[in-house]
Amino acid sequence: MLTLYDFLPSGNGYKVRLLLSQLDIPFKLVEKNILKGETRTPEFLAINPDGRIPTVQFDDGRTLAQSNAIIFYFAEGTAFLPNDRFERAQALQWMFFEQYSHEPYIAVARFWIHELHKREEWADRLKERWQKGYQALDIMERHLQGHRFFAGDSYSIADISLYAYTHVAEQGDFDLSRYPSIRGWLDRVADQPGHVLITQSVFG
Amino acid sequence: MLTLYDFLPSGNGYKVRLLLSQLDIPFKLVEKNILKGETRTPEFLAINPDGRIPTVQFDDGRTLAQSNAIIFYFAEGTAFLPNDRFERAQALQWMFFEQYSHEPYIAVARFWIHELHKREEWADRLKERWQKGYQALDIMERHLQGHRFFAGDSYSIADISLYAYTHVAEQGDFDLSRYPSIRGWLDRVADQPGHVLITQSVFG
């Protein structure tokens, strides 16, 4: 059976858990607590030299890392990856946007505040995270004013990728009340068949 | 004809220029000087709301951004994207690694030193960039000790993606002399048919 090395509060891990659940693919969950350095042990670095979760391991021992590459792998040939070549590239465009312009600000602010409880101590460093995080949300809002989803007309891994940290952005003290189109999209994503919550460990 | 909005010193733009050259796809180059704010004008934000180069525009007006999404689009169906599903995901794994763990450190250090000439003024901020950039290079070196290329056995867009800023890392004061496997791989990439230099503006 597929093994997923993961840390349950992680939005990056949640992307994989959500898609595998929606695809009905069973997996064995092996928790690695990043707060305790469990992804930096020699044993785990042999599985992923980059020392990060999520990482999946197939029965034959092969491994795959990077949340967005993992969900691309499992989405190929399914309705979660657009059939159209341009829309497939659009999905990747938003997924690279997520890792470059969204996650480093929105996920990191959430991690510092919600996991590390450094809101007061790191107030200065948080300012840049909030400013750039809001820039990412502004771009998402603008796109969603004219579109129901991020790539093509239907729910795809681009939505899963952006949903993961956007739907918990308030845990990083981002105010989503000013983003009506994002809030409508969050509801549409949560309404998809097979949706699970970030705190739900399916099959695990 | 395809239009490429680009800034010639950009490694992200170079990925697209290099692949289009190797695929023999002609394009019209429109330079946008990011040092002069030319990607933040209302006119350019209408083309890419994220205000970044590279961005491509097709004849029908559709646009695509994010260097790695653009090269994925053009590589589909060619030898530059692995045919095998797992190797395709491996290519994406390395491309997401590039945007998350490599470019923010190696490209940014190069930009600050080589383009903005802030080596002395920003010495403190550069320390973190060097430290994390070397971590990325360590991971690449370790992979290349056992492999000729990053995804499967042949040159692909994963190599183009990582080559773009690695081959000019010394402009960010990274010392590549300690990385023999990376240096061997840089030579293999530069030896590929149709290779162009970052300073060469092909078809432009």
> In this predicted model, what pLDDT tens digit does every residue of A134-174 receive, in sequence order?
999 999 999 999 999 999 999 999 999 999 999 999 999 99
Cα–Cα distance, A192 to A37 (Å, whole number) = 35
> In this predicted model, what pLDDT tens digit does every residue of B87-141 receive, in sequence order?
999 999 999 999 999 999 999 999 999 999 999 999 999 999 999 999 999 999 9
> Does A92 sit within 8 Å of B50, measured CB to CB?
no
| Tokens 């101590």 belong to residue | A121
What's B60's DSSP letter?
T
| Residues within 8 A of B (CB atoms), A 135-154 only | 139, 142-143
Residue B204: pLDDT band (50, 70, 90) is: very low
From chain A, pick out residues whose CB is under 8 angstroms from the CB of B72. 89, 92
pLDDT of residue A204: 38
- Residue A104 neighbours by CB under 8 Å, 6+ apart: A129, A132, B100, B104
pLDDT of residue A199: 80
Q: State the smallest CA–CA distance between residue A69 and chain B in angstroms.
A: 5
Average pLDDT of span A79-103: 98
| Tokens 């004013």 belong to residue | A145
Q: ipTM of the predicted structure?
A: 0.96
Say what the pTM is: 0.96
Residue span(s) of chain A under CATH 1.20.1050.10 come to 85-190
Residue among B76, B85, B99 minimizing CB distance to A85: B76
Q: State the smallest CA–CA distance between residue B35 and chain A in angstroms.
A: 19
DSSP state string for A107-165: IHHHIIIIIS--TTTTHHHHHHHHHHHHHHHHHHHHHHTT-SSSSTTS--HHHHHHHHH
Superfamily name and number for B2-75:
Glutaredoxin (3.40.30.10)
Cα–Cα distance, B112 to B119 (Å, whole number) = 7
DSSP state string for A32-88: --GGGTTTSSHHHHHH-TT--S-EEE-TTS-EEESHHHHHHHHHTTSTTS-SSHHHH
Average pLDDT of span A8-14: 95
Residue span(s) of chain A under CATH 3.40.30.10 come to 2-75
Phi and psi dihedrals of A89, rounded to 5?
-70, -35
> In this predicted model, what pLDDT tens digit does every residue of B38-96 receive, in sequence order?
999 999 999 999 999 999 999 999 999 999 999 999 999 999 999 999 999 999 999 99
pLDDT of residue A136: 98
pLDDT of residue A178: 95
From chain A, pick out residues whose CB is under 8 angstroms from the CB of B62. 86
The mean pLDDT of chain A is: 95
Average pLDDT of span A104-121: 95
> In this predicted model, what pLDDT tens digit does every residue of A23-55 receive, in sequence order?
999 999 999 999 999 999 999 999 999 999 999
Average pLDDT of span A66-92: 98
> Right CATH number for A85-190 from 1.50.10.10, 1.10.760.10, 3.40.47.10, 1.20.1050.10?
1.20.1050.10
CB of A2 less than 8 A from some CB of B: no
Question: Count of alpha carbons within 13 Å of A113, Cβ hemisphere only?
Answer: 22
Residue B199: pLDDT band (50, 70, 90) is: confident
Cα–Cα distance, A18 to A67 (Å, whole number) = 11
Question: What is the dihedral sign for C-alpha B41, B46, B49, B50?
Answer: negative
Cα–Cα distance, B8 to B198 (Å, whole number) = 7
Tokens coding A11: 């939005």
Residue among A72, A88, A99 minimizing CB distance to B89: A72
Cis status, amide bond into A104, omega within 30 of 0? no
CB of A100 less than 8 A from some CB of B: yes
Tokens coding A39: 């992804």
The mean pLDDT of chain B is: 95
> Does B85 sit within 8 Å of A69, measured CB to CB?
no
Question: Which of B53, B63, B92 has the most A C-beta neighbours within 10 Å, making it the best mutation to test the interface with A?
Answer: B92
